[in-house]
Chain A
Amino acid sequence: MVKLKDLIQKEPIMEGGHRMCLGCGAPIIVNLILRTSDAPVVLANATGCLEVASTIFPYTAWRAPWMHSAFENAAATASGIETMYRALRKKGKINKKINFVAFGGDGGTYDIGFQSLSGALERGHRFLYVCYDNGAYMNTGVQRSSATPFGASTTTSPAGVVIQGKLQKRKDLTKIVVAHNIPYVAQASPHNWLDLTKKAEKAFSVDGPSFLNVVSPCPPGWKSEAKDTIGLSKIAVDTCFWPLYEVENGKYTINYKPKEKLPIEAWLKPQGRFRHLFKPENAELLKQIQQDIDKEWEALQRLASL
């Protein structure tokens, strides 16, 4: 099992000096996951904040082999890399174990990269796909994605006079990935490093595809304080907006049950993108959000009890 002492002594694979925003969840998630790898890693990255801000030529923040080619194809690119690894290993041209990891934001994973992700999972490549889910197209300036929560104001679902932010619920990608019957799927959060690294370790240990969906606070997109990133991800879990669970070969396990589930307002209130929901006339919307979360949490508990 991963020990904190060992983790912090490892050199980060994503080096400092990159240009990710203050308070961004993604680099924390990336380094926690990569530090748990038991073998050298080779990385594929979808277009997005993580790619743009980490490799401004002639600089790179990556201490491991890293590749970006386009937005919608991190999983397909990783499948090509992993297949070449198998081809060369078969011919005796390469011998050591390598772990393959693809990173994408929610836009590159839930939306434009959805098909290539699904295809790569179905084909059974041995790789870990990590989605850092900040709930919108943050790199291009906070446009709504299918991961954007109901009611959030984004630049393409702005809260206006007659429309109160995004009118649709989020896509439940984690469960869609589960439906691919791959060996390991989990939801995690950067605030719970132990849970996240345990999950990364499990993901690296399976012989096939694995998927981690990790909530990733984004201060400019969420209109939140940089100092609140870890706190907000904890509240996302304590309100059951983002439950921590894993699915091993089809078996659901909830990894953390809050002693007292916080009301969803605790998560919405510190984020400017939900400010309009607190107008008196939007009380119904808040109630609806809470009801949806309660329903989903109950459904998840039922799945875990099977």
Chain B
Amino acid sequence: MGKLVALTGNIAVATAMKQINPDVCAAYPITPSTQVMEQFSEYVADGLVDTELIATESEHSAMSACIGAAAAGGRVMTATSSQGLALMWEMLYIAAGMRFPITLACVNRALSAPINIHGDHSDSMGARDSGWIQIYAENAQEAYDNQIQTVRIAEHMDVRLPVMSCMDGFITSHAVDSLELLDDKAVRDFVGEYKATYPLLDVEHPVTYGALDLQDYFMEHKRAQSEAMKNSRKVILDVAREYKKISGRGFEYFEEYYMDDAEIAIVILSSAAGTVKVVVDEMRAKGEKVGLLRPRVFRPFPYNEIADALSNVKAVAIMDRADSHGAEGGPLFMEFKSALYNSKKQPIMINKIFGLGGRDLMLPDIEMVYRELRDIKNTGKIRTLSEYITVRGEEAAYGKA
């Protein structure tokens, strides 16, 4: 089996990249993902990988170079955060539309303005319609595990889509965590040889990439892309099952923590789930039937499975680390409402927006959310559908509690 080590999330991901040994990496520095490429550059400089590195002059060019390299016919990886992901925006859609299996380590960070370097999910949530598969990690171990799995998911012939592997900026990326690494051979065997489809460098068989696609064909190509995303549902689980065989660690679309008999539950992404688990443990010890559901795969969104998982819960708080200004709550909340629309057994749902720009979510904050859910379960009444918490000027429940 593997080796137990203490690493930051960034170094864990860089280590996964070293073990994967991609053909080309193109990247541009941005906090908090910079360390990933710094560390990887050392591997390149020391000859520990065969990878050719392109230190581009912007993230737009980084993703453009990834796209060119992927079309040329090899395995390509990159990493970025926040403004970097935003600058890549145009090219994210093109990577997905051209069906290139590029993998990207997204170290989540708030989008400006105001400028802020800390973790929230506004960057990757904004890219949710770009056609990338999105997987979120709770801790360094999972960031490492996800990074390895993304290669297989992206390159599967039923998928051939780019995959974004997300972890929380600073909280996960910079904190030292203990994790188990697989040995290099296990990872290389798991990811296997890259299979190029229609490579540009095959000069005997010239292909045209990026043709002008008008009314007569555009929709068929977009539909094929949509089908590929649907196909990825099965592939994600198959890859996870196979990964469990070499790692002993299993992964699903989402993690359920004490959900079997939970009456009230919190839904939360990534590192904050770890804090919620502490509160669940404490409240469970007092006999309260509380649970946690932590989504791991956000795109494709597992609608049916989510509806099933929440079918016996009375009240749920969906906690978003991003806002969708003008919408009725954050992006996660909207997905969950959609997932449950067709369900006969619907819990009452509320939305809390927390942790923007890296603001801490403390144990008492989570306890208050559970207390509010308990009141909702008992009275059937909700005070407010969606609100910011742990914020100045907040009123009602928390001010008066």
A167 interface hit (Cβ, 8 Å): no
B202: which A residues are within 8 A, CB to CB? 65
B209: which A residues are within 8 A, CB to CB? 66-69
Among A55, A87, A91, the most chain B Cβ lie within 10 Å of the Cβ of A87
Do the beta carbons of A88 and B57 come within 8 Å of each other? Answer: no
A52: which B residues are within 8 A, CB to CB? 212
Do the beta carbons of A79 and B212 come within 8 Å of each other? Answer: no
Do the beta carbons of B203 and A42 come within 8 Å of each other? Answer: yes
A83 interface hit (Cβ, 8 Å): yes
Which of A40, A59, A69, A76 touches B210 (beta carbons < 8 Å)? A69
Which of A40, A59, A90, A118 touches B57 (beta carbons < 8 Å)? A118
B201: which A residues are within 8 A, CB to CB? 42, 65, 81, 84-85, 88, 94, 98
Instruction: Pick from B69-77, B308-316, B337-345, B377-385 the stretch touching chain A.
Output: B69-77
B189 interface hit (Cβ, 8 Å): no
Which of B65, B90, B94, B211 touches A80 (beta carbons < 8 Å)? B65
Q: How far is the CB of B289 from chain A (nearest CB, A)?
A: 52
B207 interface hit (Cβ, 8 Å): yes
User: Total interface residues on A, using CB and 8 Å?
Assistant: 48
In the assembled complex, the Cα of A57 lies from the Cα of B400 at a distance in Å of 63
Q: How far is the CB of A228 from chain B (nearest CB, A)?
A: 29
B contact residues, range: 35 or more
Q: How far is the CB of A198 from chain B (nearest CB, A)?
A: 24
A63 interface hit (Cβ, 8 Å): yes
Do the beta carbons of B203 and A68 come within 8 Å of each other? Answer: no
A59: which B residues are within 8 A, CB to CB? 211
A96: which B residues are within 8 A, CB to CB? 203
B64 interface hit (Cβ, 8 Å): yes
A81: which B residues are within 8 A, CB to CB? 68-69, 71-72, 200-201
Q: How far is the CB of A56 from chain B (nearest CB, A)?
A: 5
Q: How far is the CB of B59 from chain A (nearest CB, A)?
A: 11
Do the beta carbons of A58 and B217 come within 8 Å of each other? Answer: yes
- A/B pair count, beta carbons within 8 Å: 164
Instruction: Pick from B48-56, B160-168, B229-237 the stretch touching chain A.
Output: B48-56
A70 interface hit (Cβ, 8 Å): yes
Determine the residue in chain B with the shortest Cβ distance to A88.
B74
B73: which A residues are within 8 A, CB to CB? 84, 88
Q: How far is the CB of B122 from chain A (nearest CB, A)?
A: 24
Which of B23, B52, B57, B206 touches A116 (beta carbons < 8 Å)? B57
B54: which A residues are within 8 A, CB to CB? 79-80, 83, 123
Do the beta carbons of A87 and B74 come within 8 Å of each other? Answer: yes
Among A69, A91, A118, the most chain B Cβ lie within 10 Å of the Cβ of A69
What 0/1 pattern do residues 71 to 84 of A give for CB contact below 8 A with B? 01100111111011
B7 interface hit (Cβ, 8 Å): no
Determine the residue in chain B with the shortest Cβ distance to A19.
B212
Do the beta carbons of A77 and B67 come within 8 Å of each other? Answer: yes
B212: which A residues are within 8 A, CB to CB? 51-52, 55-57
In the assembled complex, the Cα of A87 lies from the Cα of B24 at a distance in Å of 7
A98: which B residues are within 8 A, CB to CB? 201, 203
Q: How far is the CB of B205 from chain A (nearest CB, A)?
A: 8
Do the beta carbons of B51 and A67 come within 8 Å of each other? Answer: no
Interface residues in B219-266 (C-beta closer than 8 Å to A): none
Do the beta carbons of A80 and B74 come within 8 Å of each other? Answer: no
B60 interface hit (Cβ, 8 Å): yes
Which of B58, B90, B98, B217 touches A57 (beta carbons < 8 Å)? B217
B66 interface hit (Cβ, 8 Å): yes
A21: which B residues are within 8 A, CB to CB? none
What 0/1 pattern do residues 192 to 203 of B give for CB contact below 8 A with A? 000000001111
Do the beta carbons of B210 and A67 come within 8 Å of each other? Answer: yes
In the assembled complex, the Cα of A146 lies from the Cα of B207 at a distance in Å of 33
Determine the residue in chain A with the shortest Cβ distance to B97.
A69
Q: List 8 A-B contacts (CB under 8 A).
A: A41-B203, A42-B200, A56-B212, A67-B68, A70-B90, A79-B54, A83-B24, A83-B69
Which 7 pairs between the two chains have the least Cβ-Cβ distance? Answer: A80-B68, A119-B57, A80-B65, A84-B72, A68-B210, A76-B61, A73-B64
> Footprint of A on B, CB under 8 Å?
23-24, 26, 50-52, 54-58, 60-62, 64-74, 76, 90-91, 94, 98, 200-203, 206-214, 217
**Apart from A64-B206, A65-B202, A83-B24, what are 17 other A-B pairs with CB-CB below 8 Å?**
A41-B203, A60-B211, A67-B210, A68-B209, A79-B54, A79-B65, A80-B24, A80-B67, A80-B69, A80-B76, A81-B201, A84-B68, A84-B73, A115-B58, A116-B64, A123-B55, A123-B56
